[in-house]
Amino acid sequence: MSYPEEKQENQLKEVDLLDVVRIAKKRKKIILALLLAGLAAGVFWYFTAPSNYQGTIILKIGGFDRLGEATGKKSLEYFENISEIAERLRKGAYGDYPEAEAVNPLNTNLIEINLVTKSRAQTQEILEKIKTDVLSIHNQKAESKKQVIDQEITFLKDKIENLNEDISFFIAKGEQTALLKLEIYNMEKLVNNLEKEKTNILMSEVLKGPDIVEKRPGCLSILFAGALGLLVGLLAAFFTDWLEKNRKRI
Amino acid sequence: MNFRKIIKILSLIFLAGAIAFSPSFSVGTLSNGKIIEIRIEDILIFFLGFSLLIGFLASGKTAVEKPPLFFPILIWLSAGLLSVLTNWAFSNLALDKGFFYFLKECQFFVFYFYVFWCVKKIDTVKLLVNIWLVFAFVNVLYVLYQMVSGFRTGEYGTAAIGEWGVFPTGAFFLLLFVFLFNVFLYYFLSLNISITKKAGLGIMAFSPVLGVFGSASKTVFTAWLFVLFLTFLFFFLRKINLKAVLVFVLVIVLAIPIFSFALRNVPDLIRVKEIIPVFSFRPLWQSYLNSRFYDAIQPLFQASLESSAHLPFLGMGKGYVGEAHNQYLRNFIEMGFVSSLTFFILIFAIIGKSWQGFSKSRDGLAIGLSAGLLTATLALLFISFATEPFIVVKPSSVYWFFAGLTMAVLRPK
């Protein structure tokens, strides 16, 4: 193998860092020019970029407070699975807001909804609508739950009244009423529990917001634009070098 | 063998072990609420990569061996970095999302480069393949334990060690099956060893199939059928003789009882029955349309086009998409039309190199690994229509580890 061929073979098999530095040095004008262009574009963008408006709203998701039958521990059955609310928001269950992002901080019953639009009024309007929709659905669920509990309580109270009448009747006849009294006692306990359950219904509510913040590109944007210019500059430098070396073959 | 070489081989074994067995740990959350999870291999590759760099700089050398696929990888990463920086500059992309998603992608290539640079001898490749065989088998035993005991740890069905998700588990076993079974077909099968040893190796190489079935993933199951077709297509292209036909028949005969065993022990595996194409692809296509295309891919594509005017040119940056259910759509949204084409440059380079290795090599191990890489790449491209396999950690780590091994074997002597 002749020397030039051997050199070319080595070039194909190895990457020499010194070559990389040499090419970068040789083409420093291209690199610098594109770096400066990137920085200039970043500065231009920093001053002229249109404002975006980011709105945030934090909702506390409510539910039914219940005592576990086996464990006896209190647990909250949410009106809606919190981690799924985000997915439903995306799919448009609460209206068509594909840009709204919902986050559920770990081990909490909170949901943070973020939205960015080009106008403050639009952000405010959409977040208000999401809030109203979510809360109205949850309130409906809470109301229907309350109605069910009320119906159960009325039913039990009627039954207790009937049993009391039965007791008066049996006492007049001189018969035993202990079992009926025990049944009344149990029913009253049930009524108490249901009333507690009713008062323990945790309503969904707005914890914070909607807060709207104007978002403008920060100084970091200039830095990133500079880095972008540098990257494009390096790519252009290496491409120019490659083109020059392979001009004959092309 | 000197101390440094032993350390390098040990580091590769630890790396393979970490990929095969490491659970994930939560270290925080991204701004979109997604939990940042790291694994032992993430920490390990950071230190190993760093020590390799320090070692190189300390040696005073200036040149480093150029791995195959170096330029396609460089182009793909540059395009990714370009999209991230552009969107950071325009404040379209959250800093943390862009950073972590891009870092994760870089990590797969660090696996590839590290394996390639550390493996210098064919004996090391043989050792690592044998070790992977053992690691895969241990995972299969864990799956078997879950099936028999009824104590399942996966999302739908059984899971690999340290894993939970249906796709990561299924694809992990699928890729192990692809690489190990191809090595078995082209290398172990032609070794001058007893038939009992060959049978033992064959069972170990084929065993990841149980993990594929156990995961109860429709996508992975369909991909497995595709893989089986490709594996034997390539096998018959290379050797068409009675032995090859016998192996094919044996594989079919073995797969049926394994599938029925898994079906009896993993109730969720019933999901795949609806898509098994007996005489037609219609059920499979309908299932894809209903569960993926109409529900996720089409709306996301439309929403993306409406959300940003510059999307087709620059993309929205790495990490912008939560779940696209389609790798090509993810690439398009994140990097734009032009940059997403660089993905195909990388893929065609991998396919080209592995086809070259498959068709031109004379060594059984090189042919087996090349056939494995070729099949695995085509399988991942197939899966890419339904999910995003190239960013899923466990299968991608296996893929790039074996890609490194394959390219090390194909290295010119």
A92 in a structural domain: no
Q: Are A175 and A238 found together in one domain?
A: no
Q: What distance in Å separates the CA atoms of residue B115 and residue B365, rounded to the nearest whole number?
A: 16
Beta bridge partners of A212: A55
A85 in a structural domain: no
Quick one: pLDDT at residue A109? 79
Q: Are A166 and A67 found together in one domain?
A: yes
Question: pLDDT tens digits for A199-226?
Answer: 888 888 888 878 898 888 888 899 999 9
Choose from A7, A15, A87 for mutation: most chain B CBs within 10 A. A15
Query: Does position B53 have pLDDT exceeding 70, yes or no?
Result: yes
Quick one: pLDDT at residue A94? 58
A86 in a structural domain: no
Task: Closest CB to A221: pick one of B65, B81, B91.
Answer: B91
Quick one: pLDDT at residue A6? 40
CA of B410 vs chain A CAs: smallest distance (Å): 13
Quick one: pLDDT at residue A203? 83
Choose from B59, B64, B66 for mutation: most chain A CBs within 10 A. B66
Helix %, strand %, coil % for chain B, to 5? 75, 5, 20
Q: Are A13 and A129 found together in one domain?
A: no
Q: How confident is the model at residue A7 (pLDDT cuts 50, 70, 90)?
A: very low
Nearest partner of B69 among B18, B19, B112, B122, judged by Cα: B112
Average pLDDT for residues A102-121, to the nearest whole number? 80
pLDDT, greater one: A250 or B53: B53
Residues in chain B: 413
Q: Are A69 and A152 found together in one domain?
A: yes
Q: Are A158 and A210 found together in one domain?
A: yes
Q: Are A114 and A169 found together in one domain?
A: yes
Q: What distance in Å separates the CA atoms of residue A122 and residue A107, rounded to the nearest whole number?
A: 31
Q: What distance in Å separates the CA atoms of residue A103 and residue A97, rounded to the nearest whole number?
A: 15
Q: Are A25 and A146 found together in one domain?
A: no
Query: Does position A242 have pLDDT exceeding 70, yes or no?
Result: yes
Quick one: pLDDT at residue B19? 96
Q: Are A146 and A199 found together in one domain?
A: yes
Q: Are B283 and B315 in contact (CB under 8 A)?
A: no
Q: What distance in Å separates the CA atoms of residue B317 and residue B299, rounded to the nearest whole number?
A: 19
Question: pLDDT tens digits for B90-124?
Answer: 888 888 889 999 999 999 999 999 999 999 999 99
A96 in a structural domain: no
Token pair of A53 as six digits = 């408006």
Q: How confident is the model at residue B275 (pLDDT cuts 50, 70, 90)?
A: low
Quick one: pLDDT at residue A120? 87
> Element (H or E) spanning B36, and its range?
strand B35-39
Query: Does position A71 have pLDDT exceeding 70, yes or no?
Result: no
- Ranking A88-92, B233-237, B267-271, B344-348 by mean pLDDT, the lowest is A88-92
Do the Cβ atoms of A13 and B33 come within 8 Å?
no
Q: Are B223 and B165 in contact (CB under 8 A)?
A: no
Q: Which amino acid is at A27?
A: R
Tally of domains in chain A: 2
Choose from A56, A82, A90, A228 for mutation: most chain B CBs within 10 A. A228
| B65 lies within 8 A of chain A by CB | yes
Question: pLDDT tens digits for A22-38?
Answer: 999 999 999 999 999 99
Q: How confident is the model at residue B146 (pLDDT cuts 50, 70, 90)?
A: very high
Q: What distance in Å separates the CA atoms of residue A197 and residue A152, rounded to the nearest whole number?
A: 12
Token pair of B153 as six digits = 């740890």
Quick one: pLDDT at residue B263? 87
Do the Cβ atoms of A99 and B33 come within 8 Å?
no
Residue A183: domain span: 52-79+110-215
pLDDT, greater one: B148 or B240: B148
Q: Could you give the angle at which helices B364-383 and B122-149 cross, rounded to 10 degrees?
A: 50
A142 in a structural domain: yes
Q: Using a CB-CB distance cutoff of 8 angstroms, which residues of chain A are in contact with residue B82?
A: 228, 231-232
A22 in a structural domain: yes
Do the Cβ atoms of B31 and A14 come within 8 Å?
no
Do the Cβ atoms of A15 and B303 come within 8 Å?
no
Q: How many CB atoms lie within 10 A of CB A192?
A: 11
Q: What distance in Å separates the CA atoms of residue B119 and residue B405, rounded to the nearest whole number?
A: 7
Choose from B57, B85, B411 for mutation: most chain A CBs within 10 A. B85
pLDDT, greater one: A181 or B175: B175
A72 in a structural domain: yes
Query: Does position A11 have pLDDT exceeding 60, yes or no?
Result: no
Query: Does position A10 have pLDDT exceeding 60, yes or no?
Result: no
Q: What are phi and psi of A16, to 5 degrees?
A: -100, 120
Query: Does position B11 have pLDDT exceeding 90, yes or no?
Result: yes
Token pair of B366 as six digits = 């090189």
Q: Are B64 and B56 in contact (CB under 8 A)?
A: yes
| A12 lies within 8 A of chain B by CB | yes
Q: Which residue of B has its CA nearest to A10?
A: B65
Radius of gyration of chain B (CA): 21
Query: Does position B153 have pLDDT exceeding 60, yes or no?
Result: yes
Q: What are phi and psi of A207, to 5 degrees?
A: -90, -35
Q: Are B350 and B373 in contact (CB under 8 A)?
A: yes
If DSSP states are collapsed to H, E and C, what string results for B236-278? HHHCCCHHHHHHHHHHHHHHHHHHHHHHHHCHHHHHHHCCCCC
pLDDT, greater one: B30 or B218: B218
Q: Are A56 and A166 found together in one domain?
A: yes
Q: Are A70 and A184 found together in one domain?
A: yes
Q: What distance in Å separates the CA atoms of residue A86 and residue A92, rounded to the nearest whole number?
A: 10
Q: How confident is the model at residue A8 (pLDDT cuts 50, 70, 90)?
A: very low
Q: Are A70 and A174 found together in one domain?
A: yes
Q: Using a CB-CB distance cutoff of 8 angstroms, which residues of chain B are in contact with residue A106?
A: 29, 35
Task: Closest CB to A228: pick one of B62, B70, B86.
Answer: B86
Q: Could you give the angle at which helices B393-409 and B166-186 cross, rounded to 10 degrees?
A: 20
Average pLDDT for residues B12-22, to the nearest whole number? 96
pLDDT, greater one: A249 or B400: B400
Task: Closest CB to B78: pick one of A14, A15, A235.
Answer: A235
Q: Using a CB-CB distance cutoff of 8 angstroms, which residues of chain A are in contact with residue B63?
A: 14-18
Beta bridge partners of B401: none
Do the Cβ atoms of A14 and B66 come within 8 Å?
yes
Quick one: pLDDT at residue A92? 58
| B302 lies within 8 A of chain A by CB | no
Q: What distance in Å separates the CA atoms of residue B202 and residue B180, rounded to the nearest whole number?
A: 9
> Element (H or E) spanning B230, and its range?
helix B218-238
Do the Cβ atoms of B307 and A225 come within 8 Å?
no
Q: Are B406 and B357 in contact (CB under 8 A)?
A: yes
Quick one: pLDDT at residue B244? 85
Question: pLDDT tens digits for A86-100?
Answer: 667 766 555 555 567
- A51-55, A241-245, B177-181, range with greatest mean pLDDT: B177-181
Nearest partner of B177 among B125, B133, B229, B243, judged by Cα: B133
A88 in a structural domain: no
Token pair of B277 as six digits = 């194409």
Query: Does position B305 have pLDDT exceeding 80, yes or no?
Result: no
3-state SS assignment for residue B329: helix
Token pair of B381 as six digits = 């491209």
Task: Closest CB to B63: pick one of A14, A102, A221.
Answer: A14
Question: pLDDT tens digits for A123-168?
Answer: 888 888 888 888 888 888 888 888 999 999 999 999 999 988 888 8
Q: What distance in Å separates the CA atoms of residue A172 and residue A166, rounded to the nearest whole number?
A: 10
Question: pLDDT tens digits for B55-91?
Answer: 888 888 888 899 999 999 999 999 999 999 998 988 8
B325 φψ region: left (φ > 0), alpha (ψ -120 to 50), beta (else): left
Q: How confident is the model at residue A180 (pLDDT cuts 50, 70, 90)?
A: confident
- Ranking A61-75, B158-172, B183-197, B327-341 by mean pLDDT, the lowest is A61-75
Q: What are phi and psi of A61, to 5 degrees?
A: -85, 125
Q: Are B403 and B65 in contact (CB under 8 A)?
A: no
Quick one: pLDDT at residue A3? 38
Average pLDDT for residues B371-386, to the nearest whole number? 96
Q: How confident is the model at residue B372 (pLDDT cuts 50, 70, 90)?
A: very high
Q: What are phi and psi of B49, to 5 degrees?
A: -60, -45
Do the Cβ atoms of A215 and B91 come within 8 Å?
yes
Q: Are A67 and A185 found together in one domain?
A: yes
Query: Does position B373 have pLDDT exceeding 90, yes or no?
Result: yes
Please give the mean pLDDT across all residues of chain B.
Answer: 90
If DSSP states are collapsed to H, E and C, what string results for chain A? CCHHHHHHHHHHHEEEHHHHHHHHHHCHHHHHHHHHHHHHHHHHHHHHCCCEEEEEEEEECCEEEEECCCCCCEEEEECCCHHHHHHHHHHCECECCCCCEEECCCCCCEEEEEEEECCHHHHHHHHHHHHHHHHHHHHHHHHHHHHHHHHHHHHHHHHHHHHHHHHHHHHHHCCCCHHHHHHHHHHHHHHHHHHHHHHCCECCEEEEEEEEEEECCCHHHHHHHHHHHHHHHHHHHHHHHHHHHCCCCC
Please give the mean pLDDT across all residues of chain A.
Answer: 82
Nearest partner of B385 among B299, B304, B293, judged by Cα: B293
> Element (H or E) spanning B142, and its range?
helix B122-149
Nearest partner of A228 among B89, B272, B404, B184, judged by Cα: B89
